[in-house]
Structure 1
Amino acid sequence: MVKFSRLLLLGFGFFGINTIWPLYNAYVPIFLKSFGLSSFVVGVYMTIDNIFALVLSPYVGALSDQTVTKLGKRKPYILIGAPLASVFFLLVPIFWLKHDFLAITFSIIMMNLSMTLFRSPLIALMPDITPAEYRSQANGVINFMGGLGAMLAYLAGRFLYKVSPAGPFLTGSILLMVSNLFVVLFIKESLPSKTKNKPSIAEIFRRSHRELLENLKEVIVSREKSLFFMLLSIFLWFTGFNALETFFTSYAKFYLDLPEHVATGTLGVLSLAFMLFSVPAGYIGAKFGRRRSIVLGLSTTAACLFAGTILASQIRGEAIIKPFLLLFVIGGSGWALTNVNSLPIVLDMAPRDKLGGYTGLYYFSSMLANIVSPPLTGLVMDLLGYRILFVFAASFVVISSITVSFVKRGVSAEKA
C-alpha cells in the first residue's frame, strides 16, 4: 500500500502546475489585447501550450522512460523544466509592463516549451511509485491537489493583481519552484537499470506517436461507434469550456465593465465548486449511470451559460457579480458531473492491453479542442463582439449532449 504522505508530496507537483495555468489563461489574453491584437490572434497565442503538449508530450514521456541517471528517470526533466518555466512565466508580466511585444512573445513560447519538458515525466511518477490497485485513490489525491492549486490561483490572484500585475505571476513562479522541489527532494524514485539496445531519439519519437495514430484509425474504421461518439463529445464540450476559460476575463473587462481581478475571482468560484463536487459526481455516476450524469452535467452547464447571456444583456458592472457567482457555482457542479464521469467511459471500452493508449485518445480529444477553441472563439468574437462568448460556449455544450447520447458502451449503471 502506498503512503498517503507520499501521494501528498507528489500532489505538490500538480499543485504547482495548476497555480500557473489559471493565471496564464486569466491574464495573458488581456496582456496580448493591449498590443492591439485581434481576438483571433490572441486565441492563436493561447493554443501554443496545447500544440506543444500534443506534439512533444508523448515524446518527452517516452524519452523519460529510456532515461538512466543517478537521480532516476523523471527527476532530471523536472529539475530542468520547472525552474525554466518559473523564470519565463515571471517574465511575461515584466515585459508587458515594458510594452515589449517581441520579448513577451518569446517569454510565452519559452514558458510553454519549458512546461512541456517536465509535465509528462511528472505525471508518469504516479504509476511509477503507486501499485496498480491504488492508482484510483492516488489519482484522486493528485487531482484534489491540482484543484486546490487552481482555486488558490484564482482567488488569491485577484488580490495580488490589484497590488501589481506581476504579483500573481511572482507568487505562481515561487509556488511552482517550491512545490516541484518538494517532489525532487522527498519522492524516492527507483533507479532504472541500464538497458541494452536502447532506441534512438528519432525512434522514440516515432514510437510515441505511432500507437496514437493506430488507435485513432481503429476508432474511425470500427463498426461500433460508441468510442467515436464519446471522443467527439469530449472534443465538443472541451471546445465550449476552453472558450470560457480563455476569454472570460476579457469578456468581463471589455463587455461587463468589471476589473480583471474580479473576473479571476469569479473563475475561482467555479474551480471551488468543481473541486467540492468532484467526489459526489463520481458517486452519482456510479448510482445513476455515467452517460445520464454527463447529460445532466452538460444540460446544467448550458443552462447557466444561457442564463448568463440574458443577465449580461440586462445588467453590467458590479451588480452582476452576485448572480454570476451563483451561476458559476451551479455550472462548476455541472462541469464536475461531466468531467469526472467521462474518462471512466473511455477506459471501460479499452482492451486490457490498451488502457494507456485509450487514455491517450481521451487527452488527444481534449487537447485538440484546446487547440481549435481559442482562435475559433476569437474569430467569432471579432465578428460578433464579446457578447457572443456564452452563447458560443453553450452551443458546443448542447451539441455534445446530443452526440454523447449515441454512446452505448461503458455507461455503467444505466441501460444502453
Structure 2
Amino acid sequence: MTPRFSFGKTFLLGFGFFGVSVIWSVYNAYVPIFLANRFNLAPALIGFFMTLDNIAALLIQPPIGAWSDRLRTPIGRRMPFILVGAPIGAVAFGLIPLQTLLPLFVACTSTLLLSMALWRTPVVALMPDITPSQYRSQANGIINFMGGVGAIIAFLFGATLYEMNPAYPFWLGSALVILATLMVFIFIREPKEYEVTDKTEPNLLVSLQKVIREEEKSPLRILLAIFFWFVAYNAIEAFFTLYSVNHLGLSESDGARLLGQLSLFFVIMALPAGLIGGRIGRRRTIMTGIVLLASCMLAMFFVPADVLTISLARLPVLGNVPVVGTILMLAGVSWALININSLPMVVDMTDDLHIGTYTGLYYLFSTMAAILGPNLNGIIIQLSGSNYALVMLFGPLFMLLALIMMLGVRRGEAKTRTS
C-alpha cells in the first residue's frame, strides 16, 4: 500500500534531524576554537581533527543504512538505532567543553562521533519510508527546515550562551537531542510492510558495484556531484569561525552568529526549495543552487575584509548584519536549493527495499567529501602562512566539478503515483 503524505508526521520526523543539526552546528562552530586556543593545534591538525567525525561516519553509516533495511523489530527497522545512538551522543556531547586534557577531549569527541554515526542514516531514511516519491522533495524540505531551526538555535542563541559560558551551547545541544529523540519515538510509526522487488537482501557494496557498472550513469554522476559540492561546503564550514576571527577580525561568537544568518535563510528556503524542485525539476534546481553558492564563495574571497565587515543593519535575533552576512544569507538560499533536492534524487533512483542502502550511499559520498575538504583546506591554510581567506577560493573549483556531473544526470525526478 502506498503511504500517504502527512505534513504533520513529516514535521514531527523533522525533530530527529533537528537534533542532529543542533549537535553538528555547535560542534563545527566551537570545537575548532577549542583546538586552536585551548590545545594550540596547527591548522592542518585542526582540519584533520574536524574530519574524525566523517571518518567514523564513513566506516559506520553506510553499513548501518543497509543493516536497517534488513532489520525487523516490533518498533521498526530504524528506531532501535535512534534509541541507542542518540542518548549516548547527547551525554558525550555535554562533556566535551569540560575537558582540559587533550586525551579526554578526544575520548569525548570519539564517543560522540561513533554514536552519531549509529543513528544518523536510519533517522534520515525514515523520511522516504513514510513519504510517497512525488512528495519527497517537499518532505525533505520540511525536515531540513527543522534541521535549519536547530542550526539557528545553535548559532544565534548558542553564541549568546557561549559568551556566558563556553559549555552552555553544548549542554543546550544535549538537552535538545534527548527531547528530539523522544518526539520521534512517541509520534512516528514506521510502516509494517516493505516492497520486495527481488530476493536479494540490501547490501551496500553490491549496490555500489551496481551503480558503478550501470550503463546509464545518472546514479554515479549524482553521487560524484554530491561528493564535489560537499568537499566545497564542508571545507568552509569547518574553518568559518577561524576565518571570521583571523581574516575578518571578528569575535568567536560573531563568527557563529554569521553562520546563524546563513542557517536562517536556509530555513526560510527549505520548504520553497522542495516546492521549486517539484515544480521545475530537482536537477535544474540543484544546478541553480550550485552556481549561486559558488558565486557567494568567490565574493567572500575577492571582496576586501574591511568591506565585508561594514555593518548594514542591526536586527532582532540576528544582531549585526554586515556585508558578509548578506552574502551568507544568499549562500543559505543556494544551499537549500542543492541540499533539499539531492537526497530525494538519490532514493528515487532505486526501489523501496533499498532506500536505506541508497541513503547509505548518499552518506558514503558526502562523508568522503567531508573528510577530504577540511584536510585539504587545513594544509592549504598552513602552507600559506595561515591565510584563512583561501577557504573561499577552494570551494568554487569543486562546485564547478559538481555542475559538470549534474549536466549528465537523467534520472531522479519525482515518480508518478501508480496506485
| TM tier relative to shorter chain | 0.7 to 0.9
**Structure 2 Cα separation of the partners of residues 304 and 236 of structure 1:** 17
Higher helix share: 1
AA partner of residue 148 (structure 2): G
Q: Could you tell me which of 24, 28, 42 is aligned with 1:21?
A: 24
CA contact (8 A) 1:13 1:183 kept: yes
Q: Could you tell me which of 5, 9, 12 is aligned with 1:9?
A: 12
Which residue number in structure 2 is paired with residue 267 of structure 1? 259
Which residue number in structure 1 is paired with residue 53 of structure 2? 49
Point out where structure 1 has 5 or more consecutive residues left out of the alignment: 193-206
The more displaced of 254-263 and 115-124 is 115-124
CA contact (8 A) 1:225 1:407 kept: yes
Point out where structure 2 has 5 or more consecutive residues left out of the alignment: 194-200, 313-320, 415-419
**Structure 1 Cα separation of the partners of residues 69 and 275 of structure 2:** 35
Superposition pairs of residues 224-303 of structure 1, within 5 angstroms: 224-303=216-295
**Structure 1 Cα separation of the partners of residues 167 and 89 of structure 2:** 15
The Cα shift of 1:411 comes to 6.6
The Cα shift of 1:30 comes to 1.3
The Cα shift of 1:23 comes to 0.5
Q: Could you tell me which of 388, 391, 398 is aligned with 2:390?
A: 388
TM-score (norm 1): 0.83
Superposition pairs of residues 163-242 of structure 1, within 5 angstroms: 163-187=164-188, 211-242=203-234
Superposition pairs of residues 358-373 of structure 1, within 5 angstroms: 358-373=358-373
SS of 2:249 mapped into structure 1: coil
1:224-268 C-alpha deviation (Å, 9 max, x unpaired) = 433333222221111001111111011111221111111111111
Superposition pairs of residues 343-354 of structure 1, within 5 angstroms: 343-350=343-350
**Structure 2 Cα separation of the partners of residues 220 and 131 of structure 1:** 27
**RMSD between aligned alpha carbons?**
3.1
**Structure 1 Cα separation of the partners of residues 40 and 278 of structure 2:** 49
The Cα shift of 1:69 comes to 6.6
The Cα shift of 1:300 comes to 1.2
The Cα shift of 1:43 comes to 1.8
AA partner of residue 59 (structure 2): V
The more displaced of 51-60 and 373-382 is 51-60
SS of 2:303 mapped into structure 1: helix
The Cα shift of 1:6 comes to 4.3
The more displaced of 145-154 and 114-123 is 114-123
The Cα shift of 1:113 comes to 1.2
Which residue number in structure 2 is paired with residue 377 of structure 1? 377
CA contact (8 A) 1:281 1:340 kept: yes
The Cα shift of 1:285 comes to 3.6
Cα distance change on mapping 1:294 and 1:2 into 2, 3 Å: closer
CA contact (8 A) 2:61 2:363 kept: no
**Structure 1 Cα separation of the partners of residues 357 and 66 of structure 2:** 13
TM-score (norm 2): 0.82
AA partner of residue 331 (structure 1): A
1:127-179 C-alpha deviation (Å, 9 max, x unpaired) = 66x36479736544333222211222111111111111111111111111122
1:285-330 C-alpha deviation (Å, 9 max, x unpaired) = 4444443333322121111111111224444766595101110111
Identity %, equivalent residues: 42
The Cα shift of 1:37 comes to 1.6
Which residue number in structure 2 is paired with residue 31 of structure 1? 34
Which residue number in structure 1 is paired with residue 328 of structure 2? 328
1:25-75 C-alpha deviation (Å, 9 max, x unpaired) = 111111112222222221222222222222222444455566677766655
AA partner of residue 259 (structure 2): L
Cα distance change on mapping 1:220 and 1:71 into 2, 3 Å: closer
**Structure 2 Cα separation of the partners of residues 370 and 73 of structure 1:** 27
Cα distance change on mapping 1:293 and 1:37 into 2, 3 Å: same
**Structure 2 Cα separation of the partners of residues 216 and 65 of structure 1:** 15
CA contact (8 A) 1:64 1:121 kept: yes
**Structure 1 Cα separation of the partners of residues 161 and 206 of structure 2:** 47
CA contact (8 A) 2:65 2:359 kept: no
**Structure 2 Cα separation of the partners of residues 376 and 225 of structure 1:** 28
**Structure 1 Cα separation of the partners of residues 131 and 338 of structure 2:** 28
